[in-house]
Amino acid sequence: MRNGLSRRRLLQITGLTAGGALLASACGQVAVQEADAPEGPLGYANPDLLVETDWLAENLGKEGLRIIDVRSAEDYAAGHVPNAVNIHSRTFIDPDNEVSGMLIPPDTFAELVGSAGIGSDSEVVVYGSGNILWATRVFWALELYGNRNAKVLNGGFAKWAEEERELTTEAPSFPAATFTISFDPLLLGTFEEVQAAIDDGNAVILDNRSAGEYSGRDVRADRGGHIPGAINQDWVVYLNGDDVRTLKSAEELTELFDSAGITEDTVVYAHCQTAVRSSVAYFVARLLGYNNVQNYDGAWSEWGNREDTTINTGSNP
């Protein structure tokens, strides 16, 4: 099992994909840009990944910009950000996978977003309702499959509407685009890797579920509890507000990661029930410039429903 982590570390160093294609130049360039990026008003290392409503309002007509509204068709039809296309969050779930909540496969993803006019090089802004849960999930999926130009709207539609910004009921039509899959295995945690991480001193298993789920009091699979050694950090701690939720500052987020034993060099496997809440932790890591955080897509839906997994209960790791 230890070989899985060693291979991941080798991939991070060399910039090789699982298929052996050399990504050193592309990945290396991204890493340099992230390290040298100027800090934004909240001190993020990669502030361009999070856009404010002011920015989006000023750039609605920007050539090539694509906006994804991941809310329901009904909510979208009642009013949405101008030029936003509706791709409901549930559309990104694979109905044929035996593990509930898993991301759709690459070819299905490419067809879905490509038909909406979103290519692998498109500048994309994703927003949801009053929090960023599904927006960050789609952000992670875009990066996983090859688009490194995605952003999330801070505060989502709730903040946009609260500020009485322009709304429309008209759905835009964009020509289909080509989304060329460039799968990045360093962004996806697997069952085998999480198993190996239990005994790895340089790895942190980050559980972004509620305290009740973590302890085993709130059971949402065949068995309740948590992965041995996992650190519990409910996803809501990364956000400010209730109805309109926005990201905390870099200083606050860094302190939260520090409290979980996460540094820039730590390999982190974030998970929740279906890798939606943990996508917020992935996004936070990207904002802070941490490049070793993976989203475990199988999550508790896989771990808690298998018969061969070790599970701890209670409030301690």
Give pLDDT, residue 240. 96
Q: Which domains does the chain have, with CATH numbers?
A: 187-303 (3.40.250.10)
pLDDT under 50: residue ranges of the chain: 1-41
Give pLDDT, residue 242. 87
- Catalytic, 27? Answer no
Phi, psi of 312, rounded to the nearest 5 degrees = -105, 155
Residue tagged active-site, from 118, 197, 272, 299: 272
Cβ atoms < 10 Å from Cβ of 121: 15
Residues 268-310 pLDDT 10s:
999 999 999 999 999 999 999 999 999 999 999 999 999 999 9
Contact of 181 with 279, CB cutoff 8 Å: no
Give pLDDT, residue 254. 97
Contact of 121 with 150, CB cutoff 8 Å: no
Dist. CA 233–CA 210, nearest whole Å: 8
Rg (CA), the chain: 19
Q: Which of 309, 241, 248, 313 is nearest to 281 (CA)?
A: 248
Give pLDDT, residue 1. 31
Give pLDDT, residue 116. 98
Opening angle at CA 90, ends 158 and 272, nearest 5 = 85
Question: What pTM was estimated for this model as a whole?
Answer: 0.88
Give pLDDT, residue 34. 37
Dist. CA 7–CA 200, nearest whole Å: 13
Q: Is the dihedral of CA 9, 10, 11, 12 positive or negative?
A: positive
Opening angle at CA 218, ends 215 and 220, nearest 5 = 115
Give pLDDT, residue 131. 84
Question: Distance of CA 175 to CAs 55, 59, 303, Å?
Answer: 25, 20, 41
Strands 246-247 and 239-240: what pairing? antiparallel
Residue 32 burial class via C-beta count within 10 angstroms: exposed 0-12, middle 13-18, buried 19 and up: exposed
Characterize 253-267 residue by residue with b for buried, 16 or more Cβ atoms within 10 angstroms of its Cβ, and e for exposed. Answer: bbebbeebebeeebb
Dist. CA 15–CA 25, nearest whole Å: 8
Residues 52-69 pLDDT 10s:
999 999 999 999 999 999
